[in-house]
Amino acid sequence: MAKIGFIGLGIMGAPMAGHLQAGGHKLYLHDIKNPPFELIERGATVCTSGEEVARRADIIIIMVPDTPHVEAALFGENGVAGGLEAGKIVVDMSSISPIATKDFAKKINALKCEYLDAPVSGGEVGAKAASLTIMVGGSEVAFDKVKPLFELMGKNITLVGGNGDGQTTKVANQIIVALNIQAVAEALLFASKAGADPARVRQALMGGFAASRILEVHGERMVKRTFNPGFRIELHQKDLNLALQGAKALGVSLPNTATAQELMNACSANGMRGLDHSALCRAIEIMSNHEIAQAG
């Protein structure tokens, strides 16, 4: 049984922590809101700060929305860094800046502790099903120690390289996901406007080369108009911002990523930032004056 700290118990973090607890591990929890009662009922300990979590746990996992939140959790007042002792491992499973991640890792390493960046893909469904894809940056020694915990939360677990490489992989993932959502939205809207049943079009495409997880899951959301998150548009906006900022720093062009970001910006401007990212289709629908589920 490992002593695991978990900071950030939202849509993703709560079920992830639950899988660790179900695996027989002792949890020390901290969140800006009250941690889920079911975790406490099953024996988890609530801590008043990240510093207390770090003092009491050997492996500290962070799962919060953005780069500033990770920085505050680690180095803010009563943050994790204040409670660390040599030999402990900090695992950031948030999706944040690769550049900032390298800086955070250096600071944690200076305290004689290991640091892994281990962002995930799979959304709320993957978190609940323990089927997340986990892309990891850090030392092989630390990865081997934490891998049994990753295996309780996910299925496809890869040590990509050094610190920052996990976050870089997640940014690449988010580019692919966004462009696939855009492609599925355009295809289904085209089919619907032409008079075809988009549900049947989706079903037919699932048997061909256009088949994808996005067409399967988010295509169904677009047809059935079920845009409750999932993974919120505002979070995908953040990830695409990281991609475009990184592209500028690297001197490369990501034209389709920029277009997808503008569509998400349009959704956000129309009050949809809290919807699932499959609702990106709404921006295209507004421009086309036609909804996917509407008869052509």
Q: What is the pLDDT of residues 169-211, one digit of tens each?
A: 999 999 999 999 999 999 999 999 999 999 999 999 999 999 9
Mean pLDDT across 62-78: 97
**pLDDT value at position 123?**
87
pLDDT band at 284; cut points 50, 70, 90: very high
DSSP 41: H
Q: Taking the model in full, what pTM does it have?
A: 0.91
pLDDT band at 294 (very low <50, low <70, confident <90, very high): confident
Sign of CA dihedral 86, 66, 213, 252: negative
C-alpha closest to that of 120 among 63, 182, 180: 63
Whether the pLDDT of residue 29 is over 80: the answer is yes
- What's the rounded mean pLDDT across residues 215-238? 95
Band of residue 137 on the pLDDT scale cut at 50, 70, 90: very high
First to last CA, the chain: 58
Cα dihedral sign, 48-65-10-176: negative
d(CA 242, CA 238): 6
Q: Is 155 a catalytic residue?
A: no
pLDDT at 296 over 80: no
Q: Please compute the mean of the pLDDT values over residues 212-239 and round it to a whole number.
A: 95
Average pLDDT, the chain: 96
Distance of CA 39 to the CA centre of its chain: 21
User: How far is the C-alpha of 69 from the C-alpha of 64, rounded, in Å?
Assistant: 6
Query: What pairs with residue 154 in β-bridges?
Result: 132
Tens of pLDDT, residues 227-268? 998 889 999 999 999 999 999 999 999 999 999 999 999 999
The tens digit of pLDDT for each residue in 80-109 reads: 999 999 999 999 999 999 999 999 999 999
Catalytic residue (one of 88, 170, 193, 238)? 170
- Residues 32, 33, 38, 44, CA torsion sign: positive
Task: Specify the pLDDT at position 258.
Answer: 98
